[in-house]
Structure 1
Amino acid sequence: MVERAEISRGTFYAHYSDIFAVIEEIENEIMGSMVEFLNDFNGVDLIQNPLPFLLKIAHFCEQDIDFYRMLISTQEAPTF
């Protein structure tokens, strides 16, 4: 992983304890974005018409589709 990121192992471990810490940070960032999206909608409106919310999530994912495809398919991050 560090080779692909073009950083040294020392740099990696200066910021993260292990690969699972990286995955946890990514999960937290994505969930934070989803919570922000939810805050943009009224609960009743969201239940009655979830399409605007779902479109917002789709647009968010489309911005970096290759990254999200990789997350979904990786064995190291089963929560995705």
Structure 2
Amino acid sequence: MNAKLDRRKKYTRMVLKESLINLLKEKQISSITVKELCELADINRSTFYSHYADPYDLLTKIEEEILVDMYQTLSSYNFNKEDEALQMTEKILEYVADNRNVCQTLLSEHGDPQFQHKVMKVTYDFTMKNWMEIHNADEKVSEYLSLYVISGSLHVLKNWLDNGMDKTPREMAELIHSFTSYGLGAIK
């Protein structure tokens, strides 16, 4: 009996998440109602409220799952310091490609801007932090440099998604790494 109930809960949560992601492609979270979520997911309102307080709660849970999953996935890799930034960038891009629908929607103009900041923090932890330590960068300069690199990279990533991922994650990682390492000198 419990297995059946657990499957039903998982299914309900899955269809609600998919419904919210589909609605976020069209409009802001502030415009999404529980009623339309339930209609799209084909569930009743009491079922929705047994899982989530409101659409914002559902969005928060989706974001938390993505961030935890991203962190766990990236933590499973162990690269040497020299290759770390390029390889971690590639792994981040592979993760985004594997979760394209959700990531593209959450990073769009209808997504939560705080989610972008959280993704930037994960990216910093896995790419920039070690680089800054290796190069003994000044703390204030490190803050500005990492903000510049990561925010620019995030916009490149969003554009890559919007362009249908026209390059492989490896090719994009090499481009980002080249831009980060050589700036305008990377242009050939």
TM-score by length of 2: 0.36
CA distance, structure 2, for counterparts of residue 2 and residue 78 of structure 1: 25
Aligned length: 79
The structure richer in helix per residue is 2
1:39 to 75, 99, 104: 75
Q: 1:55 to 1:6 in 2, by over 3 A?
A: farther
CA deviations over 1:15-70 (Å, ceiling 9, x no partner): 0001111111112111112221342245862x753122222221222123122211
Is the radius of gyration larger for structure 1 or structure 2?
A: 2
Task: Report the RMSD for the aligned CA atoms in angstroms.
Answer: 2.4
CA distance, structure 2, for counterparts of residue 78 and residue 7 of structure 1: 29
Are 1:62 and 2:94 matched, yes or no? no
2:52 to 16, 19, 34: 16
Instruction: Give, as a single letter, the amino acid of the residue that structure 2 aligns with 1:8.
Output: N
Residues 38 and 53, structure 1, Cα contact 8 Å, conserved in 2: yes
Identity of aligned residues (%): 30
Q: Secondary structure at 2:43's aligned position in 1?
A: coil
Query: Quick one: higher RCO (CA 8 Å, sep 6+), 1 or 2?
Result: 2
Residues 37 and 53, structure 1, Cα contact 8 Å, conserved in 2: no
Q: 1:6 to 1:58 in 2, by over 3 A?
A: farther
Q: Secondary structure at 1:7's aligned position in 2?
A: coil
Q: Secondary structure at 2:113's aligned position in 1?
A: coil
Instruction: Give, as a single letter, the amino acid of the residue that structure 2 aligns with 1:28.
Output: E
Are 1:30 and 2:66 matched, yes or no? yes
CA distance, structure 2, for counterparts of residue 64 and residue 35 of structure 1: 14
TM-score by length of 1: 0.71
